[in-house]
Structure 1
Amino acid sequence: MPGCSSHALECPKARVARAGFAAWSGIAPAESTAVSAVDAELVAWDRHELLDRFLNQQIQRERRALERGLTLLASIASTAPFIGLFGTVFGIIHALHAVAIGNASGIEGVAGPVGQALTATGIGIAVAIPAALAYNLFVRRVHISIADLEDYAADLVNVAQRNGFRAVAPAHRAEALT
């Protein structure tokens, strides 16, 4: 995942790995009684489902953290043009009011308020466009990050399954995932 190297212990992938290893250690099979092949398969399936569930819960936590602030950005992008439009409407009303009461004797009396109205529209658009572009960029990055986390979680489940859900010694955990 891009950007994880500087704070490797605090990146989303590291948190998913910690949650996965904690769950994996908690569901490791006991070294005891022999069970039938069917029972062993059901137990392995339950462990698989349990590890999957733990990893998916952590991925959902990471999704919520990554999506924090996107609603505000989307709101700014969608409302800024309307706020600019309000400025336009009020500016034109002001210009028409000046014409109606006779304070505007020509184009000079109307140009100021109309210019202010167009400035308000321009500011609204100037705010909305970068906000919409930033929102789309961040949403795309969140989708890519979540897809990476889901791939990583699937790899972790596969490693756990290959090891029979026995906990791997800490020194070998990184090697097992490569």
Structure 2
Amino acid sequence: MLITILAAGGAAAGSEANPYGLGAALREGGLISQSVFTILVLMSVVSFYILFSKLFEQQKVINQAKRVRQGFWQSRDLREGSSKLDKNSAYKQLVDDGLAAQEQHKNLTDPVEAHDWLHGSLARSEAAINSKLGGGLAFLATVGATAPFIGLFGTVIGIYRALIKIGSSGQASIDAVAGPVGEALIMTALGLVVAVPAVLAYNWLQRRNKSIAEDLSAFSNDVLGFLASNGAVRPTVATAAKAPVKPAAATTTAGQAGGVQTRG
């Protein structure tokens, strides 16, 4: 239904000035061209949905990192710091998983170094967060790689139908060939229009994910150092500048106060 409406609208808008266009290409291309157009439209819609949803998700993690830098390491211990973070914070997940791993290590029957156990647990938690942030990016990569070829397929079908129609009519003049063939190239252009934004979005989101992953890795190492040292090792945080100590007032001697006494 959508394809029919678009084709009818395009044909009505340009029927007098130009007999060729998107509407005519969909109408003349038949079911295959209409299917290709529908697939490209769906690819574009889903790509933009993934782009905006991932930007929103990434911005949440970036804001969480700002709150961690502001006051997390000023807490007495990790449990107090964890209580200051949002319930669904990625950084809270790292802290809670580290604390849980520390408790689990006490119940192990086989001797395992605490550092190795904590490092493995934090690495799994960090990988789970990064995997969630990377969800949907594979679709963007797929769209960027396949959309031009899907559009090209529509173009090939359009050219094939145009040549068959020209051959059956017996007219091989340049005006009879150029119009239908040029009309079929619209599908290739649509494929590129869908693919280019998907590739740009994929690269942009990947770069932002890499920056977030580096920050999560640094925070994970800080948590590991804190747990492995029982709180003795923690990152340096900005502390409020202490008020300068006023110098002690100089005491005056009796001679300075009343002058030098002379013997009578």
Q: Same fold (TM over 0.5)?
A: yes
How is 1:139-158 mapped onto 2 (pairs within 5 angstroms)? 139-158=206-225
2:100 to 4, 22, 38: 22
What's the counterpart of residue 75 of structure 1?
142
Q: Deviations over 1:80-123 (max 9, x none)?
A: 00011111211221222222212545344334422322210110
3-state SS, counterpart of residue 3 of structure 1: helix
SS at match of 2:212: helix
- The residue that corresponds to 1:3 in the other structure is 63
What residue number does 1:48 align with?
115
Larger radius of gyration, structure 1 or 2? 2
Structure 1 residues 151 and 96, CA, compared in 2 at 3 Å: closer, same or farther? same
2:171 and 2:94 mapped to 1: Cα distance? Answer: 67
- 1:25-174 mapped onto 2 (5 Å cutoff): 25-27=103-105, 46-102=113-169, 104=171, 106-163=173-230
Q: TM-score, normalised on structure 1?
A: 0.74
Query: Normalising to structure 2: TM-score of the pair?
Result: 0.52
For residue 134 of structure 1, report the CA deviation from its aligned partner: 0.7
Moved more, 133-142 or 123-132: 133-142
Greater per-residue helix proportion: 1
Alignment partners' CA distance in 1, 2:90 and 2:132: 9
| Structure 1 stretch displaced more, 50-59 or 154-163 | 154-163
- Structure 2 unaligned regions, length at least 5: 1-60, 68-84, 238-264
Q: Secondary structure at the match of 2:119?
A: helix
99-108 or 124-133: bigger deviation: 99-108
CA distance in 2, matches of 1:66, 1:109: 52
- Which residue of structure 1 lines up, in the alignment, with residue 19 of structure 2? none
1:173 aligned residue:
none
What count of residue pairs does the alignment treat as equivalent? 154
Structure with bigger RCO (C-alpha 8 Å, 6+ apart): 1
